[in-house]
Amino acid sequence: MSTPEATAPGSAPALSRIPRPSTALLTDKYELTMLEAALGNGTANRRCVFEVFTRRLPAGRRYGVLAGTGRLLESLEDFRFGPAELDWLAAEGVVDDTTLDFLAGYRFTGSITGYAEGEAFFPQSPVLVVEGTFAEAVLLETLALSILNHDSAVASAASRMTSAAVNRPCLEMGSRRAHEQAAVAAARAAAVAGFAGTSNLEAGRRYGIPTIGTAAHAFTLLHDDEEAAFAAQVAAAGPGTTLLVDTYDVRAGVERAVAAAGTGLGAVRLDSGDLGVLAQEVRAQLDDLGARGTRIVVTSDLDEYAIAALAAAPVDSYGVGTSVVTGSGAPTCGMVYKLVAREGRSGEMEPVAKTSRAKAGTGGRKAAARRLGPDGRAVEEVLVTGTDAEVCAWVSQEDSLRALQAPLVVDGVVDPAWTGKEGLLRATERHRASRDELPRGARRLSADEAAVPTVTLHLGG
């Protein structure tokens, strides 16, 4: 089995100037009440293994894209119960004094392994594995799921869009359709899946994503006529700018745009109407005017299907808003955070799982690998349970497997290579490689089953 890519020497994320409040109360209350009860009877110190996975992909989707790992690791460093948090918990009587004392000193000292950010995942893929005492691991459930479910939903949709766009750039413009902080995370998740830029300035500042955007209809309407608006924009931004030409009449708008900027006009943007037909007309008009190098940017409720439908139209880039930030029909992933093994009365680790009729689980920590066929493409997601020795022995016999889990946090120390701007670049690279490795049919947009089956092997007893 080949090993996951080696950890590059990391630099700390460049977030020092952005205020970073505690993330500790971004948590469901029951994590604290469970902690209190477990501190009460001593089970809080039992070693535990929690796994994050999804039971199924959204209907019709062929793969998911893991995103948010870097953000989770950054947030983990801010997961601290300071005086403001403790005072509020005390005043509300959420937990007892013993628990407050524990929280005051809380630092996650366990280990986290996971799929590399950007990796494709399938049902049951253990994309994150958290190991530590019950007390330290149970508190991370909500934060881990919030970040991974949101960011992976966006990246999973975004990957279908960049796939449909082939080599044309996709630009993320959906901030206005998302919670204001979720918008920043969505821009980042879209970048993981290959989006080339974002309209969101904070995403530019925080993650180094190229920012894009020039003007809205309001700018044209502000002026007494379109000529004055275009002249003002070209004066400020130069002829290489993008002029929005559909405020009044598109044909007249294109003519005025070229008149204002000359044939070196950077681009025109179309934000309404039948974009395929319009793009053809505008391309012909631009060429007739001698503006052969002027590009055409289309926006207006695009999704992966609309992008695919424009493949034959003379479009140079796609601005995508609502559909990417809302996951194009699947606004969250169904990832869960489940206890799969814990120290028992004997002191040995034991697999555990819910066993009642619905939502039954598979106990035991799972090692994960992707089996590749002779052509280097994925054929199977392989999950293996067993003792460490059994898993090692089994793995050494196989050479068609690519291991999927890598260390992210070791004894409480976050590997900075997964965080910040560097982490994002790495995730983008990983996604590109992971998607290229999927079976050819995986990129079809039509509804179908997961692109590869997930197989679970139970070694030993």
In the region spanning residues 38 to 97, those forming contacts with a copy of itself, defined by CB under 8 A, are: 38, 40-41, 43, 46, 48, 50, 75, 84-85, 88-89, 92, 94, 96
Identify the residue among 183, 286, 414, 427 touching a copy of itself (CB under 8 A).
Answer: 183
Token reading at 60: 């019709």
Structure token digits, residue 82: 């300071």
CB nearer a copy of itself, residue 228 or residue 379? 228
27 or 124: CB nearest a copy of itself: 27
Question: Toward a copy of itself, which CB reaches closer, 245 or 401?
Answer: 245
Phi-psi bin for 262: left (phi > 0), alpha (psi -120 to 50), beta?
left
The rounded distance, in Å, linking the Cα atoms of 318 and 295 is 11
Closest distance between a copy of itself and the C-beta of residue 436, in Å? Answer: 29
Assess 212 for contact with a copy of itself (CB under 8 A).
yes
Tell me the CB-side half-sphere exposure of residue 271, using CA atoms within 13 A: 18
Tokens of 173: 């413009």
Sign of CA dihedral 301, 304, 307, 308: negative
The residue count for binding a copy of itself (CB under 8 A) is 113
Part in contact with a copy of itself (CB under 8 A); list of ranges 105-113, 219-227, 254-262, 450-458: 219-227
Q: Which stretch binds a copy of itself (CB under 8 A): 18-26, 115-123, 287-295, 444-452?
A: 18-26
Q: Is 126 left (phi over 0), alpha (psi -120 to 50) or beta?
A: beta
Nearer to a copy of itself, 327 or 416 (CB): 327
Which DSSP category does 72 fall into? H
Bridge partner residues of 163 (DSSP):
none
Judged by CB under 8 A, the chain residues 388 through 427 that form the site for a copy of itself are: none
Selected range binding a copy of itself among 118-126, 176-184, 407-415, 439-447, rule: CB under 8 A: 176-184
Shortest reach from residue 10's CB to a copy of itself, in Å = 23
What stretch of H or E contains 406? strand 405-410
Does residue 18 touch a copy of itself according to CB under 8 A? yes
Helix (H/G/I), strand (E/B), else coil: 382: strand
Residue 246 within binding range of a copy of itself, rule CB under 8 A: yes
- Minimum Å gap between C-beta 94 and a copy of itself is 7
State the DSSP code for 2: B
Strand residue runs (E) in 356-400: 367-372, 378-385
263 binds a copy of itself (CB under 8 A): no
Site string for a copy of itself, 340-359 (x = CB under 8 A): --x-xx------xxxxxxxx
Query: Cβ of residue 104: shortest distance to a copy of itself, in angstroms?
Result: 16
The vertex-182 CA angle with 177 and 187, nearest 5°, equals 80
> Which position among 8, 12, 90, 221 is part of the footprint of a copy of itself (CB under 8 A)?
221
Q: Which is nearer to a copy of itself, 176 or 292 (CB)?
A: 176
Other Cβ atoms less than 10 A from the Cβ of 319: the count is 24
Sheet containing 128-133: give its strands across: 349-351, 335-343, 47-54, 128-133, 111-115, 405-410, 413-414
Q: Smallest gap, in angstroms, from Cβ of residue 288 to a copy of itself?
A: 20
Q: By C-beta, is 125 or 199 nearer to a copy of itself?
A: 199
Stretch that binds a copy of itself, among 15-23, 109-117, 310-318, 411-419 (CB under 8 A): 15-23
Taking CB under 8 A as the criterion, the residue among 7, 80, 123, 223 binding a copy of itself is 223
Give the nearer residue to a copy of itself in terms of CB position, either 125 or 233: 233
Q: Write 413-417 long-range contacts (CB < 8 A, 24+).
A: 414/73, 414/76, 414/77, 415/7, 415/10, 415/73, 416/10, 416/11, 416/12, 416/13, 417/7, 417/8, 417/9, 417/10
Of 161 and 406, nearer to a copy of itself (C-beta) is: 161
CB of 111 vs a copy of itself, minimal distance in Å? 18
